[in-house]
Amino acid sequence: MVRIGVYTTDFKFYHDVVKDLKRWKLPFVSLASLDVPDDVTVVLSSQKDNFNIPRQIKAENSMQAIRMSLSYLVSEDKFYRVIIGIDPGPKPGIAVMADNILMEAFECPSINKIREFISDIINSYAYKNILIKIGNGDRPNRELIIKEIKGIAPIIIVNEENTSTPHKIHDNALSAARISLIEDHYDCTKVPEKFSRKNVYEKEFVTLKSIIK
């Protein structure tokens, strides 16, 4: 198993990045020296650190560091294509699909925060191409979202039919993940017959967790 290393003199960065690595359930090790083990594919440090070591990422904050490291966990310095899926609504769902691997999916607290969240994703991931796919539902909120994020990356509107299946357990983040995969419409046969929230992402998608375990 590959691991992320953490080596920094910035205590706040260390505290934040360890907390976020645990939340993301990513394998990591806190390094006690500049001697990097062979199974550590990338080392996270703060931009405030004044040392340089092989396979090092220096970042402004923990989330930027983690997102910058993800391509290395799947053995690439850059993803070929990153797609950001957005499920429109007052609390939009956001998902990031990198080379058909689901990296993250979450709910944005409000539309007026969405430019900040999308900009952070765009500025943190390493990629050659990027695209935003937004579902064609909820037209009033969809238009507000497009107005907020216009100009930061190419945007296309896709047919979000079937992405809220089953409707009684609708989840904005899950719908966003489905939207990110749409070429024509989402194939509802991918939805587990016995649907439950537990491990639903692992059942429907190739996830980062399944790649690095």
Q: Do 48 and 117 fall within a single domain?
A: no
pLDDT at 42 over 70: yes
Q: Do 61 and 139 fall within a single domain?
A: no
Q: Locate all alpha helices (DSSP H) within the chain, ordered by sequence.
A: 11-24, 62-73, 114-124, 139-149, 172-180, 200-204, 208-212
Nearest to 121 by CA among 58, 78, 63, 47: 63
| Residues 138-193: tens digit of each pLDDT | 999 999 999 999 999 999 999 988 888 776 667 899 999 999 999 865 555 566 66
Q: Do 52 and 8 fall within a single domain?
A: yes
Q: Do 119 and 25 fall within a single domain?
A: no
Q: Do 84 and 145 fall within a single domain?
A: yes
% of the chain with per-residue pLDDT over 90: 71
Domain count, the chain: 2
- Provide the 8-state DSSP code for 91: S
Query: What are the two backbone dihedrals, phi and then psi, of residue 131, each rounded to the nearest 5 degrees?
Result: -150, 140
Cα–Cα dist 197/115, whole Å: 28
CATH number at residue 152: 3.30.420
Q: Which of 21, 50, 73 is the last residue of a domain?
A: 73
Q: Do 64 and 138 fall within a single domain?
A: no
Which residue type, as a one-letter code, is found at position 138? Answer: D
Q: Do 91 and 126 fall within a single domain?
A: yes
Q: Do 86 and 15 fall within a single domain?
A: no
Q: Do 63 and 83 fall within a single domain?
A: no
Q: Which of 25, 42, 73 is the last residue of a domain?
A: 73
**Who's near 197: CB < 8 A, 6+ residues apart?**
169, 171
Q: Which of 43, 73, 103 is the last residue of a domain?
A: 73
Lowest mean pLDDT among 11-15, 48-52, 133-137, 208-212: 208-212
Residue numbers of the domain that contains 58: 3-73
Task: DSSP for 72-102, please give it.
Answer: HHTT-SSEEEEEEEEE-SSS-EEEEEETTEE
Q: Do 69 and 111 fall within a single domain?
A: no
Q: Do 62 and 87 fall within a single domain?
A: no
Q: What is the pLDDT confidence band of residue 55, given thresholds at 50, 70 and 90?
A: confident
